[in-house]
Amino acid sequence: MPTDTIYGLVGSALSKNAVKRIYTIKGRSPKKPFIVLISSIGDLQLFGIKPDSFIKKVLSRIWPGGVSVILPCKNKKLFYLHRGTNSLAFRLPENKSLRGLLRKTGPLVAPSANPEGVLPAKNLTEAKNYFKNKVDFYAGDKNIKGLPSTLIKIKNKKIIILREGAVKINPTGFNN
């Protein structure tokens, strides 16, 4: 289905089985955690994450939008999500319809809709060619030629850009 940046292969972030199945379908390295889409900053509590004031300030400036933020997540019960990295990447999408869906479904893992090492699907035809009948349903009817989300990490009150993507960020712009 389309996310706010590119098509994603989505499933419940709170279901071990759904997450495991997406790793299998996508052929993704089990050492690489997925990005989790949330409907509000409050959803971070579901993962035991309580952002400090600096992180809250950063999140309020970049969300909703096309920026995924890696935050510490040391909850052992969520190992199936963080894969031993003790961190997870979250994104609060800008698209209001998608946020409405997330309020109903709960957080969703949303890796790009492509097998590992192949370009992301730009439309349903490409996604269906990649995955055939391995997924339960396909949604969306538009071409998306966007970039994946920008990926950042916050460490010691500094912004580290790990992947330039849909949104340009000035990492020093959060110090005031």
Q: What is the pLDDT of residues 17-72, one digit of tens each?
A: 999 999 999 999 988 999 999 999 999 999 999 999 999 999 999 999 999 999 99
Q: What CATH number corresponds to the domain at position 95?
A: 3.90.870.10
Tell me, what's the pLDDT at 176? 56
What does the alpha-carbon distance between residue 131 and residue 60 come to, in Å, rounded to a whole number?
A: 36
Q: How far apart are CA 29 and CA 51, in angstroms?
A: 28
Count: domains in the chain: 1
Domain assignment of residue 148, given as a range? 11-174
Predicted structure pTM score? 0.93
Query: Would 47 be classed as within a structural domain?
Result: yes
| Separation between Cα atoms, residue 1 and residue 98, nearest integer Å | 10
Is residue 3 situated within a structural domain?
Answer: no
Domain presence at residue 2: no
Nearest by Cα to 153 from 20, 81, 77, 62: 62
pLDDT grade for 175, boundaries at 50, 70 and 90: low
Q: pLDDT per residue over 81-105, tens digit each? A: 999 999 999 999 999 999 999 999 9
Is 4 a domain residue? no
Question: Which structure tokens are listed for 36?
Answer: 């989790």
Q: Is residue 161 part of a domain?
A: yes
- With pLDDT > 90 as the criterion, what percentage of the chain qualifies? 77
In a domain, 27, yes or no: yes
- Determine, yes or no, domain membership for 66: yes
Q: In the structure, what pLDDT confidence band is assigned to residue 160 with cuts at 50, 70 and 90?
A: very high
pLDDT at 147: 79
- At 3 the pLDDT is 87
Residue 5 included in any domain: no
Mean of pLDDT over the chain? 92
